[in-house]
Amino acid sequence: MVPAVDASAAVAAGSAAVESAAHFRHDQVLADIARFAGSSLDLEEVLERIVERAAALTGADRSSIWLLDRAGRKLLPSALFGMDRQFTDDWKGRPLDVAAEPLSRDVIENSVPVVVEDAQADPRTDKASVEFFGDKSILVVPMARRGRVIGTLYVNHVQRAYAFTAEDVDTAVVIASQAAVAIDNARLYGEARQLADQLRRSFRHAGEALAAAVDVQRNLELLVQLAMETVGADGGTLELLAEDGRGTETVAGAGAPTRDGWHRARFPLAAEGGALRALELWREAPDFDDQERSLLAAFAGHARSAIEHARLYASLHEERERARQAEKTQEDFVSMVSHELRTPLALIKGYVSTLLRPPVPLSPERTHRFVEGIETAASRLQRLIDDLLSAARLENDPFEGTPRPVEARALVQRAVSAAGMLANGREISVELPDTELWFLGDQDQLGQVLENLIVNALKYAPGDTPVHVRAKVVDERTRLSVRDAGPGIPQDSIERIFEKFFRVTGDAERNGVQQGLGLGLYICRRIVEAHGGSIWAENVPGGGSAFHVELATRS
């Protein structure tokens, strides 16, 4: 009997392993759907990928998404999988009446899934449609958003009749929730882009109108030419006090250059702040008389007005450029933060909408997995928000509290211990001096810097390589170093990695590293500089990179 028991146990263990692997693949696909549902991809492309995954996860032959129009009377075919491409492209332009679709009508009115195991026998199906498409079994689930059904997700079996399981229904409900999130995101994104485009066009037209209103440099040159014509001068210039306050510089000129022995007339202009400018004319003969000088004085007044106009124009132009740059920075920031927040929010919303749907009970195991997914996504949200708050606080007050003595060796050991919780068994080697190293500062902030550098090294280094942390004295300064054996830092990025919101692209994606907002190293730099120290990075010969922090050593 013992061998039989052992065989049964082996079969059971094998079945459990297969089921566990299937659940893992299933959840991976759902997570994949959540990611691209929350991305900024084109809505049509996102929905096409969703119906493809829906068919794969439920073993169906076809799957489709139908969206309600604003009036709630028409169903618009928006994504179809499992049918001829030319047919589906043509069909997308043919909305259907909700009243003529009993299955969709029931789902929309009652906001619950509808299961049809025998499409030919079920009284709610359109028999002509079933005959045309060859449907055997049909599952229809609602896509709801903000308490309102916005469409339906169809899953069709054509080859044979199929008895949908509770897990099939659960899966379709989750997919429909993610599709609703994608549609909502796309609509919000489209509205935001439309508003941004309108603002950008308005700003550009205003700038073009300002630039076209007057050519200041041309006006200055015309003033010199008119002054020359009025008194018959051979040449002239308009001069401004140089930016360094030493001498003058010519901003406009016309005619022949002056020569020795020619007669000159110069009219200083008092500018704001006491800066001197001058309109100067010259001619070979005769000298300028009093009447001509009076006329030139009037032109000098016009020149003064034009110069002030030039200053105002330059100021407005600079302000416009600053506003344009600020607008771009804000757009980039909003786009990046929206992108980083969208994925965890999409996961949370998809899971929660499923958990809160009472007509569709979930198994305890599925509920537990959903709750774990919510917790993971919420933790990522918390990290992103903490980084944003830290960066904002450091902008205004980079150093908090009173500096106190901090011992470097103890600081390193605490940071290594904290980062080690995320190491997943990775080795973190530590090299410390025999004697104590002291400096003044905030222990918590400096510990945050060191922990951030160690965690980054763990992210980017290959899984079978250690991370090295070292403390030593260099030229009477304490240097803390973190080195990894990762891909290194692109040379064109190494000087910018401490900038606010700067992120190195390429390596993170290739290594499967989830990037943040580009604030971690910026926060490190602000903290270190507030302590009077310095921080920099370098690539290590043979591979990897090293980050160094130096602080003044105290006895």
Per DSSP, the three-state class of 44 is helix
- Asked whether residue 260 is assigned to any structural domain, the reply reads yes
User: Are the C-beta atoms of 240 and 270 separated by less than 8 Å?
Assistant: no
Of 55, 79, 48, the residue nearest 66 (C-alpha): 79
- The first and second tokens of residue 240, run together, are 């401004």
CA angle 383, 388, 391 (to 5 degrees): 120
Distance between CA atoms of residues 84 and 133, nearest Å: 12
- Whether 391 and 421 map to the same domain: the answer is no
389 and 254 fall within a common domain: yes
CATH code where residue 503 lies = 3.30.565.10
Taking a C-beta distance cutoff of 8 angstroms, is the pair 77, 66 a contact?
yes
- 469, 447 contact by CB (below 8 A): no
CATH number, position 257 = 3.30.450.40
Could you read off the pLDDT of 322-369 as tens digits, one per residue?
A: 878 767 766 666 666 666 677 677 777 777 877 777 666 777 888 888
**d(C-alpha 542, C-alpha 516), whole Å:** 27
410 and 391 in a common domain: no
Identify the domain boundary among 152, 173, 189.
189
Which residues does the chain have with pLDDT short of 50? 1-2, 5, 9-18, 21-22, 24, 195-196, 198-213, 273-274, 276, 508-510
Angstrom CA distances, 432 to 416, 419, 496, stand at 12, 17, 30
Domain-located, residue 224: yes
Is residue 208 in some structural domain?
A: no
Please name which of 43, 57, 54, 55 lies closest in space to residue 150, comparing C-alpha atoms.
Answer: 43
548 to 29, 494, 541: CA distances (angstroms): 41, 13, 16
Determine, yes or no, domain membership for 369.
no
Fill in the amino acid letter for 2: V
Same-domain status, 93 and 132: yes
pLDDT in tens, 22-64: 454 556 666 666 666 555 557 788 888 888 888 888 889 999 9
Tell me the one-letter amino acid at 455: V
Domain span at residue 528 reads 404-552
Q: How many CA atoms lie within 13 A of 484 on its CB side?
A: 20
Same domain, yes or no: 428 and 544: yes
Neighbours of 387 (CB within 10 A): 19
Strands 248-255 and 235-241: what pairing?
Answer: antiparallel
Q: Which one of 344, 368, 396 terminates a domain?
A: 396
User: How many domains are there within the chain?
Assistant: 3
- Same domain, yes or no, for 165 and 220? no
State the Cα–Cα distance between residues 414 and 408, nearest whole angstrom. Answer: 10
- N-term to C-term CA, the chain: 77
d(CA 170, CA 178): 13
Same-domain status, 117 and 249: no
The answer to pTM > 0.85 is no
- Separation of alpha carbons 150 and 58, rounded Å: 22
Torsion angle of C-alpha atoms 105, 109, 110, 113, degrees rounded to 10: 30
Peptide bond into 286 cis (omega under 30): yes
Q: Is residue 206 part of a domain?
A: no
Q: Both 417 and 532 in a single domain?
A: yes
- DSSP tag of 511: T
Judgement on whether residues 137 and 17 belong to the same structural domain of the protein: yes
Strands (E), 404-444: 404-407, 428-431, 438-441
Last residue of one domain, picked from the residues 172, 189, 206: 189
Q: How many residues does the chain have?
A: 555
8 Å CB contact between 299 and 269: no
> Both 9 and 117 in a single domain?
yes
85 shares a domain with 38: yes
DSSP state, residue 100: G
Identify whether residues 78 and 168 lie together within a single domain: yes
